[in-house]
Amino acid sequence: MTPSHSAEKNSSENNLPQSRSRSLFSIGEDLERLNEILDEAGDDTQQQELLNEWLQQLGTERDRKLDGYAALISEMQARAEARKAEAQRLMELARADERRSQLLKERLKWFFESQQLKTIETTRYRLSLSKNGGKAPLILKPDLSPQQLPERFTTTSIEPNTSAIRAALEAGESLDFASLGDRGTSIRIK
């Protein structure tokens, strides 16, 4: 092999992206470039063989990278579920603590009222029985139905009936205030 022929071969091989640790997007770009090179190679069988070998290598690298992505996604989803479960457990403990503290406050209030105490100072706290601020509580009869009230004592809430709107659109009716959108796409990992 002559030096010029060797240099030609090396330069044509240098047109091919080198195998290294690359991002998935870089691999995708290499695959696109490979398709362009295959089109340019025409009937050169040696060039075709080199390109096919490289395509196979890229495909293997791509699959390995995709497998890594899927594994990372699965791990993150599992961690998220574990953290949600732990957050739920901690929220239940927090609610239990809130209920217990409220019960203790009610017992303390009862004690202050039964002993006719107003304020007690301890080494760390000052405890006082005081009137609540704000508006006086509104007490409605327990058997009261909102429909029995005069109109000035009720409020009306108007919201779109999305089920009826969807049904009309699916039946082919044209509505100037709504339309059905395209369903999106998602990746499923099994």
Whether 107 and 95 have beta carbons less than 8 Å apart is answered as no
pLDDT tens sequence across 13-56:
445 545 556 776 777 777 777 767 766 766 777 777 777 787 78
Place of tokens 């899927």: 70
Q: What is the pLDDT of residue 7?
A: 39
Q: What is the pLDDT of residue 11?
A: 41
In a 13 Å sphere around the CA of 82, the CA atoms on its Cβ side amount to 6
- Is 80 exceeded by the pLDDT of residue 91? yes
DSSP H helix total and E strand total for the chain: 4, 2
Q: What is the pTM of this model?
A: 0.54
pLDDT tens sequence across 99-108:
999 999 999 9
Cα separation, 185 vs 32, in Å, equals 23
pLDDT tens sequence across 126-176:
999 999 999 999 999 999 998 889 999 999 899 999 999 999 999 999 999
Q: What is the pLDDT of residue 189?
A: 82
Whether 180 and 170 have beta carbons less than 8 Å apart is answered as yes
- Is 70 exceeded by the pLDDT of residue 5? no
Beta carbons within 10 angstroms of residue 27's beta carbon: 19
